[in-house]
Structure 1
Amino acid sequence: MPTRSKPTAAPNAATGPHPFAHLAAWREQAELTQEQVANRMGVSGVTIHRWEAGKAPVTVPNFIELAQLYGATDPAQLMFPPAARETAAALRRAHRVLSSLPAKQATNWLTSGEDLAEAFGSSAGDTSREK
């Protein structure tokens, strides 16, 4: 019997915006209507509306297909507004760097980054820094 992908967790109003709050913005940036997306994916327009509204969970395969339709290079980008696509890419790069370093070097790397951000007037170098 084939296994089915489990849908993502249903949204919880107590936790703030649902995890798919930016799907409509991505769709609009791709200049697609809900019906066009539905037709390409073989689902109903109501399904697309329910995903975008956080009223129905999106399976992992459907989430990956949405990312492809919307031109995202990584499905995780759909969790951010389309304008933040560079931020998502930068976070992935930073994670790769941090994952490759021993703890002390990772801390030094982060401190250097905070110092640079502070020097350029960013709020990234805030008081939450570990010493």
Structure 2
Amino acid sequence: MKDKSILAVDDESELLKMLQSVFERAGYTKITTASSGKEALAIFRENQPDMVILDVMMPGIDGFTVLKEIRKTSTIPVLMLTARGEADDKFLGFENGADDYLIKPFLPKELLLRVQAILNRAYC
């Protein structure tokens, strides 16, 4: 599963660097990052990643809108990674097709294990 491509989307550059580092240390070699919803959609359309890790609160196009756009053409796994932990936000994520929802702050190992579990279910 470590050969699968992952797109990580967040407007916090330090968090993106940390995500990239966590996945690379775990042996993942195809990690792409985007710092906005607009950039994420462009990368998604061009590269068709195997999974997306998606923040909700971003300037311009928010994560829920990105998720809706992805779901128009794809069933790839999407994990929402966000500070928005209210029940209604979680429900909205799942109703729009998210496969998982993890609230910040999070444990990097937990994120890694969730991603591995999702990829195993989706691609085995």
Q: How does the TM-score come out when normalised to structure 1?
A: 0.26
The structure with the largest strand share of the pair is 2
More helix by percentage = 1
Please identify the structure whose Cα radius of gyration is greater: 1
